Amino acid sequence: MITSATSRARLRSGLAWLIAILLLLTVMLYLTRVYPYQKIGPQQPIFFSHRVHAGDKEINCRFCHPFVERSANPGIPPLSKCLFCHRHVITGHPQIVKLTRHFDTATPVPWIRLMYMPDYSRFNHEAHLEQEIDCVTCHGEVSRMDRIYPIAFQMGFCVSCHHERKAQLDCWLSCHY
Ligand code: HEC
Ligand code: HEC
Ligand code: HEC
Ligand code: HEC
pLDDT in tens, 83-126: 999 999 999 999 999 999 999 999 999 999 898 887 666 788 88
Q: Which protein residues are within 6 Å of ligand 2, measured from CB?
A: 61, 65, 68, 72-75, 113, 115-117, 123, 125, 128-129, 133, 135, 137-139, 153
Q: Is residue 11 in some structural domain?
A: yes
Q: Is residue 105 in some structural domain?
A: no
Q: Is residue 33 in some structural domain?
A: yes
Q: Which ligand is nearest to the CA of 114?
A: 1
Q: Is residue 16 in some structural domain?
A: yes
Q: Cα of 85 to ligand 2 centre, how many Å?
A: 24
Three-class HEC string of 29-41: HHHHHHHHHCCCC
Contact predicate 119/177, CB 8 Å:
no
Q: Cα of 144 to ligand 1 centre, how many Å?
A: 12
**Which contiguous run of DSSP H or E holds residue 82?**
helix 79-86
Provide the residue range defining the domain that includes 18.
2-37
Q: Is residue 46 in some structural domain?
A: no
Alpha-carbon distance of 42 to 44, in angstroms, equals 6
Number of structural domains (the chain) is 1
Task: Give residue-wise pLDDT tens across range 147-162.
Answer: 998 888 888 888 889 8
Mean pLDDT of 59-82: 83
